[in-house]
Amino acid sequence: MHKQQQTGGVVLPIIIVVVAVVLFAMFVPTGGRAPSPDQQQEVAERIQPIGLVEVKAAASNGPARTGEEKVYKAQCAACHAAGALGAPKFGDAGAWGPRVKTGFEALLNSALKGKNSMPAQSGGAASDYEIARAVVYMANQGGAKFDEPKAPAAAASAAQ
Question: Which residues in this chain contact ligand HEC in the complex, by CB under 6 A?
Answer: 71, 75-76, 78-80, 85-88, 99, 102, 106-107, 110-111, 115-119, 122, 126, 131, 134-135, 138
Smallest distance, ligand HEC to C-beta of residue 91, A:
13
Tell me which amino acid residue 88 is.
P
Give the nearest distance from C-beta 106 to ligand HEC in angstroms. 5
**Which residue's CB is nearer to ligand HEC, number 134 or number 155?**
134
Q: CA-to-CA distance for 28 and 90, rounded, in angstroms?
A: 62
Q: Which amino acid belongs to residue 123?
A: G
Q: Is-contact 66 127, C-beta < 8 A?
A: no
- Of the two residues 45 and 147, which places its CB atom closer to ligand HEC in the complex? 147
Q: Contact 74/137 with Cβ under 8 angstroms?
A: no
Minimum CB separation of residue 58 from ligand HEC in Å reads 19
Query: CA 73 to CA 62: how far, in whole Å?
Result: 14
Residue whose CB is less far from ligand HEC, 12 or 84: 84
Q: Residue 66 in contact with residue 134, Cβ under 8 Å?
A: no
